[in-house]
Chain A
Amino acid sequence: MSDGQIVVSGLTKQFKKVRAVDNLSFTVEPGRVTGFLGPNGAGKTTTLRMLLNLVTPTGGTGTIGGRRYADLSQPLRTVGAVLEASSAHKGRTGRNHLRMICAAAGFPNRRADEVLDLVGLTPAAKRKFKGYSLGMRQRLGIAAAMLGDPRVLILDEPANGLDPEGIRWMRGLLRTLADEGRTILVSSHLLSEMELLADDVVIIAAGKLVKQGPVTEVVDGMAHVARVRVQTPQANELVKALADTVPGTTVSRADDGTLTVIGTEAATVGRTALKAGVELHELTTERPDLEDVFLDLTAGKAAIR
């Protein structure tokens, strides 16, 4: 087993009324970026906080490199976490915020300046936290996570509040860190961003695991959510034929007359058209993206609890 592997096993959290996380198990491998996805209220934050010993699980365990967070002798040297944007004292400067963490962890003060530089916050180092923009706060959080040069990074919606350049910067940073062999677990709602960044995904809904695996495999395994684009001068006939002979398909029509068929493959559409004597000008399969897959997998489970 590699050092930086995260293993979540049977993790469960019952809040008073809500079962936020329900017998959840998955693993996160080093050297890869793992996207942790789920609708609002799916239990992502709760899972990450249980992994970091901030929330006590009702059952199950989460380990990092085989140990529970509380058992790590120097936690910040092993794990860096970015949890919420607002967690610094309003009246404290960014630099002092980092120095206070350095003191607790036994890091030299120069680390504070080094990570400020890393996230591009040096100009604001001596400004108070209350004057930071959302993106600056997020960068300070990332700086804090990097203080101990950790081999595992856990980030809860780190792209929140970052501008496009900031998002690209973070993508590059996480990519580089993963390529250095570190473990990156990052929760996000930005599915197109995750499709660019993540190697693996863990998708949960209503506290339960829905799917885990490499992004390409997960997407390829979901060919049935592919969209088939059709150009035809006899749109109405085709729509009727599909409705009559291929149940479960939905067809939408764009302004320019292009039809998009969801719920079946191009071959079926072609065969149906042939049988119905419908003339086709174009028949293309559009590979589903992560968003299509995500929405299909979590359909009906996305309700906020």
Chain B
Amino acid sequence: MTTTTAVAPTVAFPDPGPAPLRLIRSELIKIRSTNVWWLFGIGVVLFTALALVVWTLIGNSQIDTAAAAGNDVFTPSQGTDAAQIAAERQQFAVEHDLSRTLISVAAQIYTSGQFFGLMFVMLIGTVLITNEFFHQTATTTFLATPHRTAVILSKLATAMLAAAFFWIFTTVLSLATGAIFLSAKGYGTQLDQWPVLRAILFNGLAYALWGVLGVGLGVLIRSQIGAVLVGSISYVAGTFLIQPIVFLIYTFLIKKTWVLTAMVAWPAIASGIMISPEDAYPYAPDWWVGGLVLVGYSVLFGAIGTLITRRRDIS
């Protein structure tokens, strides 16, 4: 028996190509070859359609109010609270200024489906990671690419690609609906207005950042169910729980405006602040603070997650 036989190559292999592209292609095949793809797709289409109906109805009545409003004068209600007066003043201004109303309605319609769209993109990012452990495919993945950081980076890129796809898809749908609605009411598309363009562009940025955030969450919480629950609950809670709670704290416990400003620390609220053309709420910080907070979370989650993944035993 010989022990030094050279193995005759029985198969010819072409050049493998650059590693990052290979990895992203592999990730895209993973998404496309399972149900995730069209389940999330259908979800986004349904919620965008629903949001479009709601926002055109609301926009319709807002535009009518603003167009009909004559020379009303702003009078604050009973309260003497500065934050409350500011909020009322802002609302009054928007409600009584037709061009501002048009801009805010257009921005709202053109970013329809954002609420659930962002959540779905985040969940796709999460599932990209947790699926590997849930279905025990991590072994296969890391055998093909022992450089784990490269794998995580390719998943980040893939999440952003998915985000871009969802953004383009929902935006095309909303632009068509919004343009038809506005011209039917006899107004222009408002697409020449910076705040409107800004809302559309930042919507795209938000999609990308939530995709990244989702990947980070998936690496931090390996359990599929755990990560999905934590992700969606903290996302929804950010909108429906955190804001009222912080306002209660402000009203009854710490009567300092920084309490309100600090709300930006919660990712879902940071995202709202970044996207909103007006102040998202009274004493909200500037939009870029929201953006920085989101980027910060993404980098933090991503870095911690990558470090954990590099050291983790796959067994």
Contacts and interface: CB of A to CB of B under 8 A. Distances in A.
A70 B136 contact: no
Contacts of A56: 311, 313
B314 to A, nearest CB: 4
A70 B135 contact: no
Interface in B284-314: 311, 313-314
B183 interface: no
B135 A99 contact: no
Contacts of B35: 91
B218 to A, nearest CB: 15
A89 B1 contact: no
B146 A84 contact: no
Contacts of A54: 139, 142-143, 313-315
A80 to B, nearest CB: 9
Nearest to A152: B7
Contacts of A53: 142, 146
Given A31-B1, A55-B315, A92-B33, A87 B13 contact: no
B139 A181 contact: no
Interface in B219-252: none
B34 interface: yes
Contacts of A144: 140
Nearest to B30: A100
A114 B13 CA distance: 13
Contact of B139 (A77, A83, A180): A83
A3 B9 CA distance: 14
Contacts of B33: 89, 92-93, 96-97, 99-100
Contacts of B313: 49, 54-56
A4 interface: yes
Given A69-B146, A70-B146, A99 B5 contact: no
Contacts of B145: 75, 104
Contacts of A76: 143-144
A88 B7 contact: no
A149 B7 CA distance: 10
Interface residues of A, number: 54
A97 B139 CA distance: 13
A75 B146 contact: yes
Interface stretch (A105-113, A217-225, A284-292): A105-113
B139 A31 contact: no
A90 B35 CA distance: 11
A99 B29 contact: yes
B144 A75 contact: yes
Nearest to A96: B33
The number of chain B residues touching the other chain, given as a range, is 35 or more
A49 B4 CA distance: 26
A46 interface: yes
B25 interface: yes
A92 B146 contact: no
B16 interface: yes
A52 interface: yes
B144 A105 contact: yes
Contacts of A103: 22, 25-26, 29
B314 A89 contact: no
Nearest to B154: A104
A83 B137 CA distance: 11
A31 B131 contact: no
Interface string A16-56: 00000000000001111000000000000110010011111
A258 B315 CA distance: 48
Contact of B13 (A72, A104, A107, A151): A107
Given A52-B143, A97-B33, A180-B10, 15 more contacts: A46-B315, A54-B314, A87-B137, A89-B34, A90-B135, A99-B33, A100-B30, A100-B33, A101-B144, A105-B16, A106-B16, A106-B17, A181-B4, A182-B7, A199-B1
Interface of B: 1-11, 13-17, 19, 22-23, 25-26, 29-30, 33-35, 131, 135-137, 139-147, 311, 313-315
27 contacts: A2-B4, A30-B3, A32-B1, A45-B315, A49-B315, A55-B313, A76-B143, A76-B144, A83-B139, A87-B135, A87-B140, A88-B136, A92-B30, A93-B33, A101-B26, A101-B144, A103-B26, A104-B25, A105-B16, A105-B144, A106-B22, A108-B14, A149-B10, A149-B11, A149-B13, A180-B8, A181-B7
